[in-house]
Amino acid sequence: MSRKLSDIIHCSGIAFGTSGARGLVKDFSPTVCSAFTQSFLQTMARRYSFSAVAIGIDNRPSSPVMAQHCAAMAQAMGLAVHYYGVLPTPALALQAAKEQIPAIMITGSHIPFDRNGIKFYRPDGEISKADEQSILSCADTLLHTMPSTLTADGKAAHAYLQRYREICPVNCLKGKHIGIYEHSSAGRDLYHQLLTELGAKVTRLERTDHFVPIDTEAVSEADQQKARKWATTYRFDAIFSTDGDGDRPLIADENGNWLRGDTVGLLTAKALKIQALAVPINANSAIDLCGNFTEVQRTRIGSPYVIEGMQLLQRQYASVAGFEANGGFLLASDIKVNSHELSALPTRDALLPFIAIMLLAEGKPLSALSRELPQRFTASERIQNVPAELSQKLLAIAASQPELILQQLGMTDTTTQDIDQTDGVRLTLNNGHILHFRASGNAPELRIYSEADTDITAKHLAHLGTKIKLN
């Protein structure tokens, strides 16, 4: 019996979040993977001319099989499949842009192990929210597919490394000792190769055969302790890691302190001499206070919204970028770095921030770069296994009765100065601190963001937010 693509997708339990379609591994059946792929490629065919699709995966054990089902559908539609195996998402996006073809990345990024996802790329970059709606609403019937065998091509990984070889002076990292927290990151071998080529002494840390869901936006206490211990043991100049698919960086200074993602983005934009920035509402206000940028535009959380903001800024400025509080950095404009052109890559990339910050530091320790910024500190926490309807109920109360929320948290002497509902509910308090509640777009979680004038206060405020009553 023929089935409509929209019906298959609607009944799958898979939904678009802030970055791609995400859901439980058990729900990504062959039929569901095929339906998403067919609907995506038909959506692309309405606007672009192409004869192939690029496909890549992360190191989740469920990713290779999902890729096979996506590839089989592409072949059933008469397209060639350029399969690049395990590699960082930005490497796949870069290669697809060069070839001017769509791309499909099988990755769940940082979400829990029992989940996975699919990221979709147009020939000119990430899909938009309008594209997502077209994918969800396609009424065509599902095509029949045949099993597909895939052999990985290393071309995309090589091009990704070459992108950074070209902008880096010879031996620019000579004398530096860098630790790579490899875990199951899709780019772990590429990072070791590049940093070694640039002259650094590289120590590889905690490579795993099982998948580890690293969240760069809410670094676990265990990972914070690891970094401090590694810094003491090895006397690193820096530690570098990423999330599962290599689009968000995790960077620690010489003391083993992980830099917040929005601090990473600010320093990267400063190093690249960016004129205008698009950043989400939860990014550190030091971005506005530092005076390095002509314009800072605030958006909803999620790379599609940051991309929309960058597109608007490109009408006025020659160099535009965007980043998120999770550290994902997006370059919207072609720019010059060390007299070499660095082409635009308007999708999150973990490697560019690390390279840019190391070049910016020159002889300084990374901690000094952070101290030079306006001293505003952010923190984040999450409450897991919170159903969406419960999160929405809490957000409605926070927006209409913010003082009730503060009372529940024991903040009886604090009042609300401003309420921003750009994304979730962001409360600016009368003492200048910020407490922000938001339902995750990727998992059944309630995200809590905070900002204050000291690191300790920001962390305390974020942790306090986890005590909110959820019933």
Q: Are strands 335-337 and 416-420 parallel, antiparallel or unpaired?
A: unpaired
Angle subtended by helix axes 351-361 and 155-165, to nearest 10: 20
- Whether residue 50 contacts residue 123, with contact meaning beta carbons closer than 8 Å, is answered with yes
Q: d(Cα 246, Cα 181) in Å, to the nearest integer?
A: 12
Give the alpha-carbon dihedral of 269, 456, 280, 442, to 10 degrees. Answer: 120
In 3D space, the residue among 270, 286, 287 whose CA is nearest the CA of residue 278 turns out to be: 287
Look at the alpha carbons of 192, 194, 196, 201 in this order and tell me if their dihedral is positive or negative.
Answer: negative
Residue 109 is among the residues annotated as catalytic for this protein: yes
Please report which helix (H) or strand (E) contains residue 142, including its range: none
- Whether residue 91 contacts residue 56, with contact meaning beta carbons closer than 8 Å, is answered with yes
Helices (H) and strands (E) in the chain, counts: 16, 23
Q: Using alpha carbons only, how large is the chain's radius of gyration in Å?
A: 22
Region of residue 251 (left: phi > 0; alpha: psi -120 to 50; beta: else): beta
Among candidate residues 19, 109, 185, 391, the one labeled active-site is 109
In 3D space, the residue among 465, 469, 445 whose CA is nearest the CA of residue 457 turns out to be: 465
Q: d(Cα 86, Cα 106) in Å, to the nearest integer?
A: 9
Q: What amino acid positions are annotated as catalytic residues?
A: 109
